[in-house]
Amino acid sequence: MNDLLQLEVHDLEVQVLTGIYSEETHLPQPLRISMTVDLALPERFLPDTPLSASKSYIDLKHAATTALPQGVHFTLIEGVAEHICETLFVSDERVKRVQVKIVKLAISENGESIGITLVRHRR
């Protein structure tokens, strides 16, 4: 059994071109994106362990915001989640697993959360 570190960034609100219906395809819509990333870790974290032994939360936020290509329409939110996973795997070989949850805020009528969770493991 291997130890791991889970980094989490939750509830980012991001405007993304996504959807299959005509009313969705020409304007970005709000998505709530949350991520959990499993990271291989060093033997121990001591008081003076440098940030390079872990990963910056800013890298996770970047994968779900500025790393998403501007002007690209994702037919499915699953494609958005896939892009986020790939960005995180490519950016750091220590990333072992990525879980991305996406909620489509525009279709909620009574505060419910409607969306998907995608989990990918490094292959």
CATH of the domain at 32: 3.30.1130.10
d(C-alpha 120, C-alpha 89), whole Å: 10
DSSP annotation of 107:
G
Say yes or no to pLDDT of 70 above 80. yes
d(CA 98, CA 3): 16
State the residue range of the domain holding 44: 5-121
Please state, in angstroms and rounded to a whole number, the distance separating the CA atoms of residues 19 and 73. Answer: 8
pLDDT tens per residue across span 89-117: 999 999 999 999 999 998 888 889 999 99
- Count of the separate structural domains present in the chain: 1
What pLDDT is stored for residue 104 in this prediction? Answer: 94
Q: Which residues of 86-117 are buried (b: 16+ CB within 10 A; e: fewer)?
A: ebbbeeeebbbbbbbbbbbeeeeeeeeeebee
